[in-house]
Amino acid sequence: MTESDTETEELSVDRFYDALEDHGRPVITATALARRLDVSQERAMQALDALEERGDVERASVAEDPTVFYASDWARMVERERVVFFPERREIVVDQPEQFTRAQLAQFARLKDTTRTGGYLYEVRREDVWQAPYDTHEELVATMQSVLPVWPSTFEEWVVEQYKRAHRFELRTHEDGYVVLVAANESLLGNVAEQRLPEGALRAVISDTEAWVAEDRVAEVKRVLYEAGYPVEDGRDLETGEALDVQLHLRLRDYQQEWVDRFDEKGAGVLVGPPGSGKTVAAMGCIEAVGGETLVLVPSRELATQWREELLTHTNLVDSQVGEYHGGKKQIRPVTIATYQTAGMDRHRQLFDDREWGLVVYDEVHHVPAPIHRRSVDLQSKHRLGLTASPVRGDDREEEIFTLVGPPIGTDWDALFDAGFVQDPEVEVRYVPWGSDEAQERHAKRDGHDKRQAAAANPAKIAETEHVLEREHPDKKALVFVEYLDHGQELAEALDAPFISGEMAHSERDRLFREFRNGDRRVLVVSRVADEGIDLPDAEVAVVASGLGGSRRQGTQRAGRTMRPEGSAHVVVLATRGTTEEDFAQNQTRHLASKGISVRDGDAKAFETTDGLVAATDDTDADDEDADGDEAPDDAAE
């Protein structure tokens, strides 16, 4: 800060705190403050007088020393936000971050770790710069500078270089209709594209910077160049397919309309927004904008049925125009909703390849990098739209989503929370003691999967779940998530609630979900079948009783079942103390914390003990293992 700066603005209490930290002592004189701020002593004294008048600082006079000043509210100074940037490692440490800071960091950095005291560790990777939702590197740099306390020129050079790397190759449509790869210069085409791409991907070089791309190798070209460090922009004239007049009967919210406009401009993209923000409605707006026949890919047949009902309810499409294609139905219509599993099978694939789709929608798009699902993104000539609450994957291949489908759209969760469009849930991790000595001993004797299962099925979790649902939220609609069939059945019996798993008939699942939506049922115990996409509005409470070996994405989805515009929302994650579940719980909630959602932790509340063990609960037959005790199957599989 220079003298001229301080003459035009008052000294803020945060600047005073910064000066105290730099000074290294809890008190400071006007002379020392003047040196820290690079101002005159008179100006420093005036600033301190103003802070004292506002009640932010106090002064003390010592007989043999000059007057010193100190913070009035030490708690505020300790708890305030601190951002420390390590440019060499490209890591950012944030203490007590405000929502604005988390929202800005989410645009260009990945949350790497969190602590239980409110600390966050972010890292800026090249992929984060490539995928940052900015049209110019100047906009990206401005956002970074608004958060980072220091800005070394070497870091800015790296950011600008990485941003430019993401704009050095582009796919275009030649005037004669074929696909052309355009490089920023001759060297990139010859030394990168021609050298790295497999034989046959480029049919011919047509100029110093252009090459003809084999139409059926476009996805491969994107993958290879991405892995080489050069993401490819897709500027082709995408097909619109057979014309289809789709009219949306809903008025889009402003942010949804912005999502649609950005998609319409680019022709491809991934909507990244919290559950309950209306991504499906926005997707229907994109279908209307394209105006062509559409293929919607989903992970489960329940979600296919839900999509069909939403389209028939909220658009002018009629029954004969909307079909489902999966293990239960085989209908190809102008708008077809198919499961990833079925669409990836060879015997069905030609049906989808042959039709002139104008748009392909990938719901729960994080499935795309999986081997059987990624085959669907070879439909590169179409408009492509992905939907997800969380693009993160356990195998760190989430970058393929944006490479193969399109750039991220709509990543600012905080704006939706602040505007009241989506309920910001409170997420709480509770550490549960062992339900009995026997249960703890069994856990100690087991290894690997069996050890995780023993921790997941800790009988004390039943008491804590009952406490949450009956004592804390007795009148609220709740979902209880489990990973193992035995555990789900035990909880369902204790709660007198149905247990929905992949083994249940689809018709029975539909009936129970419908009863929950209509308010005829208050509690459901569910396996992975409810993780993705299933619309369960008004679920005000979610208890994650087991399944903590899952991914950050799974944690987002389960918390997301409570994210709705109305009412309070509470997510309780149960972890058996002293087991790997503690680390898994932190991993699952990390992505939520990075999006500005409140996450806290503490002890289970159903019981207080002196020795870390709760009174014995029903633990019969815990050692008996049969087929039902195996890990619950992936309910999305067909």
- What is the DSSP annotation of 614-628? PPP---TTTT---GG
Query: Residue 630 has which token pair?
Result: 């195996």
* 237 located within any domain: no
Residue 68 tokens read as: 């010193």
Residue 632's pLDDT band (cuts 50, 70, 90)? very low
Domain final residue pick, 365, 398, 415: 415
Query: Rounded to the nearest 5°, which phi and psi values hold at 462?
Result: -65, -45
* Residues 546 and 451 grouped into a single domain: yes
Distance of CA 402 to the CA centre of its chain: 14
For residue 308, the enclosing domain spans 254-415
User: In sequence order, what E strands does 359-437 have?
Assistant: 359-363, 383-388, 408-409, 426-432
In the numeric block, which tokens belong to residue 501? 């798993």
The reply to whether 142 and 216 lie within a common domain is no
Residue with the two structure tokens 């009629």: 318
- 211: tokens are 């090459």
Could you tell me the CATH number of the domain that includes residue 21?
Answer: 1.10.10.10
Q: What's the rounded Cα separation, in Å, for the pair 608 and 615?
A: 10
Sheet with 383-388, side-by-side order of all strands: 322-325, 335-339, 294-298, 359-363, 383-388, 268-272, 408-409
Q: List the beta bridge partners of residue 315.
A: 248
* End residue of a domain, out of 76, 104, 121: 76
Which pTM value belongs to this model?
0.60
pLDDT tier at 350, thresholds 50, 70, 90: confident
Residue 165 CA to its chain's centroid (Å): 25
Pick from 389-403, 419-433, 522-536, 572-586: least confident: 389-403
pLDDT at 564: 44
The dihedral region occupied by 198, where left means phi > 0, alpha psi between -120 and 50, and beta the remainder, is beta
Nearest to 588 by CA among 412, 422, 400, 428: 428
Radius of gyration of the chain (CA): 28
Q: Residue 563's pLDDT band (boundaries 50, 70, 90)?
A: very low
Cβ distance 604 to 464 under 8 Å?
Answer: yes
Q: Please check whether residues 271 and 325 belong to one and the same domain.
A: yes
User: Strand pairing partners for 269?
Assistant: 385
Q: Per-residue pLDDT for 270 more than 50?
A: yes
Query: Six-digit token pair at 189?
Result: 């085409």
Describe the strand order of the beta sheet including 210-213 as a list of residue ranges.
202-205, 210-213, 179-183, 169-173, 232-234
Regarding whether 617 and 497 lie in a shared domain, the answer is yes
| Residues of the chain above pLDDT 90, percent | 28
Same domain, residue pair 287 and 399: yes
Mean pLDDT of the 314-326 span: 94
- Examine the domain organization and report whether 348 and 275 are in the same domain: yes
Query: What's the angle, vertex CA 604, arms to CA 425 and CA 607, rounded to 5?
Result: 140
The H or E element containing residue 261 is: helix 254-266
pLDDT of 595-619, one tens digit each?
Answer: 556 677 888 888 654 444 444 444 4
Q: What is the mean pLDDT of residues 309-320?
A: 95
HSE on the CB side for 366, CA within 13 Å?
21
Around 367, how many Cα atoms within 13 Å sit in the side-chain half-sphere?
26
Domain count, the chain: 5
How many residues belong to the chain?
638
Residue 98, domain member (yes or no): yes
Q: Taking 90 as the threshold, does the pLDDT of residue 249 lie above it?
A: yes
Beta bridge partners of 524: 479
Confidence tier at 79 by pLDDT (50, 70, 90)? low
For residue 577, which of 550, 556, 602 has the smallest C-alpha distance?
A: 602
Per-residue tokens: 546: 């087991």
- Of the listed ranges 19-23, 274-278, 279-283, 389-393, the one predicted with least confidence: 389-393
Answer yes or no: is 245 within a domain: no
Residue 365, in any domain of the structure: yes
Residues 260 and 198 grouped into a single domain: no
| Predicted pLDDT at 423 | 55
What pLDDT is attached to residue 57? 80
Least confident of 47-61, 310-324, 340-354: 340-354
pLDDT value, residue 470:
92
Higher pLDDT, 6 or 508: 508
In this structure, are 49 and 129 located in the same domain?
no
Tokens of 473: 């939220």
Task: Pick 167 or 618 by higher pLDDT.
Answer: 167
On the question of pLDDT at 196 being above 90, the answer is yes
The neighbouring-strand residues paired with 251 are: none
Interval 218-241 mean pLDDT: 89
pLDDT digits 0-9 by tens, 380-406: 778 899 988 765 434 445 566 777 888
pLDDT surpassing 50 at residue 7:
no
Q: Is the pLDDT of residue 5 over 80?
A: no
Computed over every residue of the chain, the mean pLDDT equals 78
Give me the CATH number covering residue 292.
3.40.50.300
Is residue 241 one of the residues assigned to a domain?
A: no
H/E run at residue 413: helix 413-418
Q: Is the same domain home to 456 and 408? A: no
Tell the residue number behind the tokens 């003990």, with chain if given.
609
- Residue 308: what residue type? R
What is the identity of the amino acid at 91?
E
State the pLDDT at residue 418: 55
45 and 66 fall within a common domain: yes
Q: Are 565 and 423 in contact (CB under 8 A)?
A: yes
Distances (CA, A) of 379 to 20, 282, 344, 349, 606: 59, 22, 12, 11, 53
Work out the pLDDT band at 239, boundaries 50, 70, 90: confident
Q: C-alpha dihedral over 585, 365, 231, 217, to 10 degrees?
A: 140
Give the amino acid at 19: A
Does the pLDDT of residue 289 top 90, yes or no?
Answer: yes
Domain boundary among 230, 246, 277: 230
What pLDDT is recorded for position 538? 63
Whether residue 637 lies inside any domain: the answer is no
Question: Is 455 domain-assigned?
Answer: yes
Same domain, 407 and 427: no
Helix/strand/coil for 228: coil
Asked if residue 242 is part of any domain, the answer here is no
Q: Examine the domain organization and report whether 408 and 557 are in the same domain.
A: no
What confidence tens digit (pLDDT) does each residue in 470-480 have?
A: 999 898 889 89
